[in-house]
Homo-oligomer: A and B are copies of this chain.
Amino acid sequence: MRAEIISVGTEILLGEIVDTNSAFIASKLPALGIDLYFKSVVGDNQARIVDTLERALSRSDLVIMTGGLGPTEDDLTRESIAEALGETPFVDPDLERPLRAFFAGRGVAFPERNVKQAWLIPSASAILNPRGTAPGWWVEKNRQEGDRYIVAMPGVPSEMNRMWEKEVAPRLREIAHGQLLITRILKTAGIGESTIDEQLSPILKTANPSVGIYAKADGVHVRIAAKAATEDEARALITPVEDEARRILGPIVWGVDDESLEAAVGAMLRERGLTLATMESCTGGLLASTVTDVDGSSDYFLGGFVTYATEAKVARGVDPAIIEAHGVISAEVAADMARAAREGLGASYGIGITGIVGPTEVEGKPPGTIHIAVHDGVRAEPMSYTFNQGRVSNKRRAVTFALFLLRRALLAAG
């Protein structure tokens, strides 16, 4: 099944909003066996929407539209579909009733122009939208080019996402008969792209599943993608390759698919009944904030110190003699920060981070110089590197490496 996506909205053409809907939909189509050939954005202009839609219908079996279903004069998706198909909209009483009830329930007069949110055309049925007032349209039409489907969804991402998952994807699964593309992502830590490429060379040549290696912000991802008639068949193709990749890579694989590093490391802490404390200088609290982005992190995260000023480090127990001897930007200070965090909060593990996120150098050391240490109660394992991509990126990278290092310490502890 050939598909294309049309996003409707002048605000996208003005660059005022980034169209994340079409990327969301695009990422979901391969697993349904639907091939996406084009994506377009068109403004709130009926002639141009109709033109774009007609061209799409001439070459694609399925056209997925988002936006333009609101109640205002600028919302022209319904009008455009009707015009492109040569049909006349009518008010559907089953849609009108809940719409009026919605306004009545809020004690607000019903604006008559909103009645178009209760429109249908003969080829269209309504798609439920419990998160908003605009139902979607599911359109089926036999044309001279063949059977055509149009799906129109609201532009508000939360409404669109729900409508896609609960209503649209299940129906598309019924009508699409293409090969499904199912992917499995193995996320790794602490080894470079080219090393993994070498190690995995025995399985990189396969065609189905295909194996790709991608450097991402949270480490290198190994992507195994299989095509098959059913999801089960695709998974059966993936499993032996995944097993082989895991055998080769060993413990550097820390998670799969949508898992985050902070959730993976947090789960290890919780399972073992261990706790964590942090002392951060250059990352300014981003490590603590990232750790606590995970639901239930209060089970293992006790707290942290953001010791931006040197005096704040000393006040929190860092040895001034170590600062004096090695400078505040040093592996030794990172190690002592890890110790002091651990002891200060009575945690199983402490993490210390010191460095320069930029843009100016400190103590003669360049921006991007980072020292991280994890203390397990016996000793601190430090790690140092210099890599400068700008202040905010430098902070993120340091947090990722700190979590890598904690994971390694937990694995080493067995």
A: residues with CB less than 8 A from B are 12-20, 22-30, 36-43, 48, 52, 55, 278, 280, 283-289, 291-293, 295, 297-298, 301-309, 311-312, 315, 344-345, 358-359, 391-392, 395
In the complex formed, the residue of B with least CB distance to A358 is B295
Cα-based distance from A306 to B288 in the complex (angstroms): 7
Q: List the B side residues contacting A312 at CB < 8 Å.
A: 302-303, 345
CA–CA, A52 to B41, complex, Å?
Answer: 13
Contact A40 B37 (CB under 8 A): no
Q: Which of B18, B30, B42, B288 contacts A284 (CB 8 A)?
A: B288
Number of copies: 2
State whether A38 touches B37 (Cβ < 8 A). no
| Complex Cα–Cα for A42 and B303 (A) | 49
Residues of B within 8 A of A24 (CB): 15
With a cutoff of 8 Å between Cβ atoms, the chain B residues found around residue A307 in the complex are 303
Chain B residues with CB below 8 A from A285, complex form? 278, 280, 284-289, 292, 304, 306
With contact pairs A18-B18, A285-B292, A295-B391 given, residues A37 and B30 touching in the complex (Cβ less than 8 Å): no
- Contact status B304-A292, CB under 8 Å: no
Asked if B306 contacts A278 (CB within 8 A), the reply is yes
Whether B284 lies near A291 (C-beta < 8 A) is yes
- In the bound complex, residues from chain B placing their C-beta under 8 Å from that of A288 are 284-285, 288-289, 306
Give the complex CA separation of A40 and B40 in angstroms: 4
CA distance A280 to B289 in the complex (A): 10
- Give the complex CA separation of A309 and B288 in angstroms: 13
From B16, B23, B287, A27 is in contact (CB under 8 Å) with B16
Q: A15-B23, A38-B52, A289-B395 are in contact. List 10 more A-B contacts (CB 8 A).
A: A37-B48, A40-B40, A40-B41, A284-B291, A285-B286, A285-B292, A289-B289, A302-B312, A304-B305, A312-B345
Q: How far is the CA of A311 from the CA of B37 in the complex (A)?
A: 57
A18 and B15 within 8 A (CB): no
In the bound complex, CA of A27 to CA of B18 (Å)? 10
Q: Which residues of B contact A15 (CB under 8 A)?
A: 23-29
The residue that A41 contacts in the complex, of B38, B280, B284, B391, with Cβ under 8 A, is B38
A37 / chain B contacts, CB cutoff of 8 Å: 13, 42-43, 48
Chain B proximity of A130: nearest CB distance (Å): 17
Q: In whole angstroms, what is the CA distance A297 to B306 when docked?
A: 13
Given the complex of chains A and B, what is the CA–CA distance between A293 and B301 in angstroms?
Answer: 23
